[in-house]
């Protein structure tokens, strides 16, 4: 009696890579979320603080924060509301253009971020320590090429 063929043909390589990237990103992000959780932060909130630290002292409008995010958050305003209630950020309407509200990181936000800098670096080192530097560099270049592709 012959073996029955698989009900599904093998996935195309591109599909397999896409799924692998999604699973890898999820796994890495989950580890980061566990690092942020005791500090009352989500990965998205950490990303906002990191972006705002880089935008000091000018701050950024909500839309600019959203454009710089690693992953899109559909309700940036509510996210910023929660962070402002914790005194991690401040928002102020601009006098020259009342439509624009600038968001800045507060001293409390800067202190929290500073305390996380080293643990985050150590986490990333642990996450990738098993790969030689040359392979990590190649991986970084390949991922950049995927992101930099032109419109289809």
Ranges assigned E (strand) in 64-136: 89-93, 101-105
Instruction: List pLDDT tens digits, range 75-103.
Output: 888 999 999 999 999 998 877 777 888 99
**Residues 6+ away with beta carbon under 8 Å from 58:** 102
Rounded to whole angstroms, the maximal C-alpha distance in the chain is: 82
Instruction: List pLDDT tens digits, range 9-56.
Output: 889 999 999 999 999 999 999 999 999 999 999 999 999 999 999 999
Instruction: List pLDDT tens digits, range 4-13.
Output: 556 788 899 9
* Chain mean pLDDT for the chain: 91
* DSSP helix, strand, coil percent of the chain (3-state; round to 5): 60, 10, 30
* DSSP at 27: H
As a dihedral over the C-alpha atoms of residue 101, residue 47, residue 51, residue 83, rounded to 10 degrees, the angle is 30
Domain boundaries, the chain: 38-116
| CATH T-level assignment (fold) for domain 38-116 | Arc Repressor Mutant, subunit A (1.10.10)
């Amino acid at each position: 009696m012959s073996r029955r063929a698989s009900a599904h043909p093998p996935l195309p390589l591109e599909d397999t890579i896409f799924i692998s990237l999604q699973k890898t990103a999820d796994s890495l992000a989950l580890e980061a979320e566990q690092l942020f959780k005791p500090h009352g932060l989500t990965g998205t909130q950490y990303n906002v603080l990191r972006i705002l630290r880089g935008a000091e002292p000018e701050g950024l409008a909500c839309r600019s924060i959203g454009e710089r995010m690693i992953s899109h958050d559909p309700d940036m305003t509510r996210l910023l509301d929660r962070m402002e209630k914790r005194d991690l950020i401040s928002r102020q309407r601009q006098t020259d253009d009342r439509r624009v509200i600038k968001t800045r990181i507060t001293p409390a936000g800067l202190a929290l971020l500073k305390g996380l800098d080293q643990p985050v670096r150590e986490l990333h080192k642990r996450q990738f320590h098993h790969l030689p530097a040359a392979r990590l560099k190649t991986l970084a270049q390949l991922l950049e090429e995927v992101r930099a592709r032109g419109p289809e």
